[in-house]
Amino acid sequence: MKKIGLFIKRDEKAINKANELEKWLTSKGFFVLKKENIYPTNNPFDNQKIPIAPPDLFCVFVLGGDGTFLSAARWIGEQDIPVLGIKFGDVGFLAETIEEDLFTCAEKIINNEFSIEPRTRLFIRLIRNEQEIASQTALNDIVINKGALARLAHIETYINDSYLTTYRSDGLIIATPTGSTAYSLAAGGPIVYPSLPSIILTPICPFTLTNRPLIIPDNVKIKIKITEQSTDIVLTCDGQIGYEIGSYDTILVTKGKRPVKMITMSEHHYFDVLKTKLRWSGGRI
């Protein structure tokens, strides 16, 4: 018996629709595993111990917004489990379909009428006093930023151990192409097509105006150090996990070993989704 996972936003509408989908899938002979969205605790090290999805899942349906999808990607971990996003939130760049088309898409999926689009992840290691104290993956981005009352962050940045620059800014976003339409875009970063092998560096409100967003190959190693001048600095991964960091820490970022396998339908095109989400009319003003 094939198993399908339902990863659900803690929202009455999404939960009710998940119950409908569970009954429908069960009637088709599938075993259904339901999982509510994982909310991070205040202790980031607790979040590294969250159980991952069973390895024998045929696929996972995510009923929620982009935040729920990012949590589902953490739940799946490094496993090759395809995942489909169904929009039940305010933001839906990661959603392949909407609630109204859910059962039409589900019918195609159980009949294997779908494609897989691999999405690059970042792999992040936090080194403190020459010891690795934490590691995480991120589908969208990692963000290094200062607290509300802190002075500018001084972020030393190296590419393949070659010094690039020290960003004097409110922070720095390191994003995947998938994450290029998230926080990086709001901070003035470029939109990058999801399959391009690249990583985006976007400074947040840089003091030096010539520090512009930078697109680099995804086969590099990025090393980040925080200078002693900086205080009250936080590292977050996909907005889900946060670590307080300081001058005693080194952050290493590389391309993740395994991508997220996103389910796509042939009739849906990235540029159509992009135009819809960004409300590009294409007409004259």
Query: Which positions are annotated as active-site residues?
Result: 66
Structural element, H or E, at residue 13: helix 12-27
Largest CA distance in the chain: 62
What does the DSSP assignment read for 85-117? EEE-SS--TT-SEEGGGHHHHHHHHHTT--EEE
Alpha carbon distance 131, 128 (integer Å): 5
Q: Which residues contact 56 (CB under 8 A, 6 or more apart)?
A: 3
* Residue 70 and residue 238 in contact, taking contact as beta carbons nearer than 8 Å: yes
